[in-house]
């Protein structure tokens, strides 16, 4: 559903491929969802105190991913803001993936979250690279 919505917008963001934008929005939303679930699951574990850093990282990542998806969906036309946001989102996703991977052997939700974070980081980086390459 995201691609048809992006394609229906009368303005195109910096000549970027609508499919790349839609993919990034979808990856960001999936990651935000995974991070929120992971944070909640961490809070339900037997020793949530040992997962405090993971929970905080999950919540930060979820917020950045949701914000990135919203800004990309709006087509603000401010490429420098979009590029900076994509960079921040990719960085947050990589940090969250690293933290979740520390707990992945014991907690499946952390393994799944790390996977979603890596996918989102890749999508954000690819879109940012294209944005910079198109003359940001």
Q: What class does CATH assign to 18-133?
A: mainly alpha
Token reading at 77: 């036309």
Q: State the pLDDT at residue 1.
A: 85
Confidence of residue 78 (pLDDT cuts 50, 70, 90): confident
User: What are the Cα distances from residue 11, in Å, to 22, 24, 48, 74, 98?
Assistant: 14, 18, 46, 10, 37
User: What are the Cα distances from residue 135, in Å, to 31, 55, 80, 128, 132?
Assistant: 28, 37, 10, 11, 6
The answer to whether 24 touches 129, Cβ cutoff 8 Å, is no
Angle at 91 between CA 101 and CA 93, to 5 degrees: 40
CB-CB neighbours of 107 under 10 Å: 18
Q: State the pLDDT at residue 8.
A: 86
Q: State the pLDDT at residue 49.
A: 95
Token reading at 76: 């603000």
Q: Which residue has the tokens 């929970």?
A: 55
Instruction: Name the residue with higher pLDDT: 119 or 12.
Output: 119
Q: State the pLDDT at residue 25.
A: 97
Instruction: Name the residue with higher pLDDT: 74 or 101.
Output: 101
Domain range list for the chain: 18-133
- The mean pLDDT value for 40-67 works out to 97
């Amino acid at each position: 559903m995201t691609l048809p919505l992006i394609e229906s917008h009368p303005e195109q963001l910096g000549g970027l491929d609508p499919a790349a934008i839609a993919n990034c929005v979808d990856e960001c939303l999936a990651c935000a969802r995974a991070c929120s679930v992971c944070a909640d699951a961490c809070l339900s574990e037997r020793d949530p105190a040992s997962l405090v850093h993971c929970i905080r990282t999950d919540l930060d990542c979820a917020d950045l991913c949701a914000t990135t998806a919203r800004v990309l969906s709006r087509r603000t036309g401010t490429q420098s803001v979009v590029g900076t946001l994509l960079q921040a989102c990719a960085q947050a996703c990589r940090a969250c993936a690293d933290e979740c991977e520390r707990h992945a052997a014991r907690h499946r939700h952390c393994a799944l979250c790390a996977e979603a974070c890596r996918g989102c980081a890749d999508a954000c980086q690819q879109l940012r690279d294209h944005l910079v390459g198109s003359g940001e």
